[in-house]
Chains A and B, each alone.
Chain A
Amino acid sequence: MMETIRRISGVNPRKCMKCGKCTASCPAYDEMEFHPHQFVDMVETGRIEELMQSKGIYTCLSCFACVERCPRSVEPAKLIEAVRLAVLRQQNENHLTANDIAEKLDPELPQQAITSAFRKYRK
């Protein structure tokens, strides 16, 4: 599993020097139980199951602040996406379904919000 995450993300977690810049930059910190630097560490040490159980994989905003500011170009956001994909690609693990959408709509909501949610949260 660890290898799968590394392969599809293209991230080498060994590049991390554990400075905490990603976690310092993360705007979604309060919404996640594991924070970007922990993602990197847990992928390196093989704690993938815990990450897959974590709700934080759906709250990452994909804002790329961690990617931009990481001094070692580790790209934590790619790991988070890889873990999320590992979950979604299992059977019946879609985080969002078409049935959920109706109640979330409002008249001003741009199409982009729905498209992106489907792209991020289901397979």
Chain B
Amino acid sequence: MTYSYFPGCTLRTKGKELDQWGRAAAEVLGFALEEPENWQCCGAVYPMAKDEIATRLSSVRVLADAKAQGRELVTLCSACHHVIKRVNGDMQRDADICDKVNRYLKLDTPYAGETNVLHYLEVLRDRIGFDALKEKVVHPLTGVKIGAYYGCLLLRPGKEMGFDNPENPRILEDFIRAIGAEPVIYARRNECCGGYCTLENKSYATKQVDKIMDNAKAQGAQMLITACPLCMYNLKENATNGLDVKYFTELLAQALGVKEEAK
């Protein structure tokens, strides 16, 4: 199975590991990730205002490209996923936005949200299946207690993202089980880490991260996993006494034996 794949700006630079191990694992799991030519940054923030059209264009370009290829579009970074999925929803549901975007883009065939947008985790859950994934694990992470950190963008708003139960998600926990480790449930796994304000108000970001870390530690987590480079930065750099944080793809690659170094 071949998917169109939108890595996003950060996965080319500061978030390389998220991308690198995701691609390596995909090979083992038997699906191909193909980057469209000339993709552009999604903007990293979903434009909530109805009259913001220009900020939606780069998402629609990559969505329309996937449609032309006849493929589903896979994303890996939480922020990219959030932006592209919601812009796609606008193209499906908001006639005004859809009309204006199509006038700007002058595509050969108009685009109205036909492409299905999947997060890499959804590919694992809905296309590969966590049971099938489990069978391919060669180095199970037995005994490791891992807290899943979802953050905001993957889950909310639930009715638009359609990713998981936004108040009690389980996709990352199921993933953790599939790679042989033990998931740790903690309530702040879907509370905001404060990433967006790290530039302007570091002390506030620290306060948020510390609450999350305290909660995860108290519930017995030894490490956290995430799918978001900004959460990753924030959890790592702004915590006063934090746990180790890894991208979920890195652990996936490790469990599948494509990342040979030990934990």
Whether the complex brings A and B within 8 Å at their CB atoms is answered yes
Residues of A within 8 A of B (CB): 7-10, 27-28, 31, 58-59, 61-65, 67-68, 75, 77-78, 81-82, 85, 96, 104, 106, 108-117, 119-120
Residues of B contacting A104 in the complex (Cβ-Cβ under 8 angstroms):
199-200
Residues of B contacting A68 in the complex (Cβ-Cβ under 8 angstroms):
155-158, 166-167
User: Which of chain A's residues has its CB closest to B50's CB?
Assistant: A10
Nearest Cβ in chain A — how far from B153, in angstroms?
Answer: 8
User: Which of chain B's residues has its CB closest to A104's CB?
Assistant: B199
In contact, B49 and A82 (Cβ under 8 angstroms): yes
Residues of B within 8 A of A (CB): 8-10, 13-15, 41, 43-52, 55, 77, 79, 152, 155-158, 166-167, 191-192, 194-201, 204, 208, 229-230, 232-233, 236-237
Sort A-B residue pairs by CB-CB distance and give the 7 closest, nearest first: A63-B192, A64-B156, A116-B44, A110-B14, A63-B152, A115-B44, A119-B45
Nearest Cβ in chain B — how far from A12, in angstroms?
Answer: 13
In contact, A115 and B233 (Cβ under 8 angstroms): no
In contact, B233 and A27 (Cβ under 8 angstroms): no
Interface of B is mostly: loop
In contact, B208 and A62 (Cβ under 8 angstroms): no
A112 to B13, CA, bound (A): 10
A10 to B232, CA, bound (A): 33
In contact, A7 and B50 (Cβ under 8 angstroms): yes
Residues of B contacting A64 in the complex (Cβ-Cβ under 8 angstroms):
152, 156-157
What are 7 residue pairs bridging A and B, where the CB atoms are less than 8 Å apart in the complex?
A: A28-B194, A31-B197, A61-B192, A68-B166, A75-B157, A82-B48, A110-B232
Nearest Cβ in chain B — how far from A108, in angstroms?
Answer: 6
Q: Looking at the complex, which one of B14, B201, B204 makes contact with A109 (CB distance below 8 Å)?
A: B14
Q: In the complex, how many residue pairs between chain A and chain B have their CB atoms under 8 Å apart?
A: 126
Q: Looking at the complex, which one of A59, A67, A96, A113 makes contact with B230 (CB distance below 8 Å)?
A: A113
A68 to B150, CA, bound (A): 15
In contact, B199 and A114 (Cβ under 8 angstroms): yes
A104 to B9, CA, bound (A): 19
Residues of A contacting B197 in the complex (Cβ-Cβ under 8 angstroms):
28, 31, 59, 61
In contact, B48 and A112 (Cβ under 8 angstroms): no
Nearest Cβ in chain B — how far from A66, in angstroms?
Answer: 10
Q: Looking at the complex, which one of A8, A59, A112 makes contact with B9 (CB distance below 8 Å)?
A: A112
Q: Looking at the complex, which one of B79, B192, B204 makes contact with A65 (CB distance below 8 Å)?
A: B192
In contact, B233 and A110 (Cβ under 8 angstroms): yes
A58 to B241, CA, bound (A): 27
Nearest Cβ in chain B — how far from A69, in angstroms?
Answer: 8
